Amino acid sequence: MQNKEKNLFLNLCSFKHNNQHELELLLQQGAATPCVLGYIFSNRMPAVAYGVLKNHHLLTYLDREFKNSLKNAYLQNIQKNESFFKSLYWLSDLLQTHKGKYAFLKGAWLCQWYPKGYRTSNDVDILVAANDVTDIGITLSKAGFKQGYLKNENFVPATRAEIIASKMLRGETVPYIKQVDLPFMKYFEVDINFSLDYKTSDPNTVSELLYRAVEVQNAKAPIVTLDRYDFLIHLCSHLYKEATTYPWVEMHRDMTLYKFCDLYALLSEFEEQDYFSLFKRAEEMDMQNICYFALYMTKELFDIHSEPLARCLKYMCTDPKILDLVINPSEKKRYSYQEKNIKNRFFSEDRKSLLKEV
């Protein structure tokens, strides 16, 4: 991938700050190649790219296939989100009897917070205290959900062994899935999380997060989600888990850009006091290094020039080596990235080859 292609891709994803003149120059240089289009789609960013180009009146520089691919993805996202929100509000009503014992995570709130159609979600994640997982699972089962997986767009029931293993090893349940047959959403999937990573978290940490949860207006109806800083810290934790776990590197899903874009977009609304509050909250949760990892990576990928963020990162970091560490929990092995440049690492076609066992 040429530098002009990389620059165009990252500029099209940086919807909160980008240079129209630079974008126009890159398009004039022929940077809008099939490779760039592939990166946009594989990182779940077509609607964002379409919005940036449309807002800057630059769509005329694209060939028909490139432009229509982005436009159709954007329109599909809007329809998909209508189905998603309909299912989400129904689920929120279903869980009213468990109020105070759960909070919606990630896409449940982000899909409506982003500009229309920019963000979609394939499922709903819920944070639940470990001792409430069974009761909420019963409520979902009575409503027609079944535990299992989607394979080749078909539902496959989970075995008892899979259900037990997921709880013991992954800090989450096997997904609860219900066939809803809505536009762009044949199945509605709910993931119950009772841990912040692939291990079982301290139950007091999850309970505190739920105690601090807030009710926010979500498009048409209120939903319960995490406090502003807890929400961002959870995103950092989720990103860190996937970016530093070997199987995710093998699947090429460790650095999908939309996850970094979530942080980039939220940080764009932060003021200096917010960074101080975020640092203090991360310190209380003993998650400074995890937040440092996620925020530093985001800063590098999106070229965020913010002195408050730089100071926050300086105080958060107690172990700079965390940026390079990858672990394989099942084999109890540790690896270190030999490529230290974050953008070079992101654009590598085989990040696994950049790892060395330590």
**Unique residue bearing structure tokens 């300086």:** 314
For the chain, first and last CA: distance in Å?
A: 30
Q: What is the pLDDT of residue 168?
A: 63
Q: Which two tokens stand for residue 116?
A: 């229309």
Tell me the pLDDT of the chain (358 aa) as tens digits: 999 999 999 999 999 998 899 999 999 999 999 999 999 999 999 999 999 999 999 999 999 999 999 999 999 999 999 999 999 999 999 999 999 999 999 999 999 999 999 999 999 999 999 999 999 999 999 999 999 999 999 999 999 988 887 776 567 889 999 999 999 999 999 999 988 765 555 678 899 999 999 999 766 778 999 999 999 999 999 999 999 999 999 999 999 999 999 999 999 999 999 999 999 999 999 999 999 999 999 999 999 999 999 999 999 998 989 999 999 988 999 999 999 999 999 999 999 999 999 9
Q: Which two tokens stand for residue 317?
A: 């970091």
Pairs from 203-209 (Cβ < 8 Å, separation ≥ 24): 203/129, 203/130, 203/131, 205/285, 206/127, 206/128, 206/129, 206/130, 207/129, 209/103, 209/127, 209/234
Helix (H, G, I), strand (E, B) or coil at 22: helix
Q: Calculate the CA 113 to chain-centre distance.
A: 14
Cα angle: 172, vertex 175, 180; to 5 degrees: 150
Measured distance CA(258)–CA(119) in Å, rounded: 8
Q: What is the pLDDT of residue 169?
A: 59
Measured distance CA(236)–CA(326) in Å, rounded: 16
**DSSP E strand boundaries for the chain:** 102-104, 124-128, 146-151, 154-157, 176-182, 185-193, 214-218, 221-225, 325-328, 333-337, 355-357
Measured distance CA(205)–CA(247) in Å, rounded: 26
Taking phi first (over 0 means left), then psi (-120 to 50 degrees means alpha), and beta for anything else, what does residue 357 get? beta
Under a CB-based contact definition with an 8 Å cutoff, are residues 149 and 158 in contact?
yes
Q: What is the pLDDT of residue 161?
A: 87
Measured distance CA(123)–CA(191) in Å, rounded: 7
Measured distance CA(194)–CA(191) in Å, rounded: 10
Q: What is the pLDDT of residue 118?
A: 98
Measured distance CA(295)–CA(310) in Å, rounded: 10
Taking Cα atoms as reference points, which of 221, 184, 186, 183 lies closest to residue 104? 221
What is the pTM assigned to this prediction?
0.94
Measured distance CA(155)–CA(72) in Å, rounded: 27
Q: Which two tokens stand for residue 353?
A: 């080859």
E strand or H helix at 17 = none
Measured distance CA(129)–CA(307) in Å, rounded: 37
Helix (H, G, I), strand (E, B) or coil at 286: coil
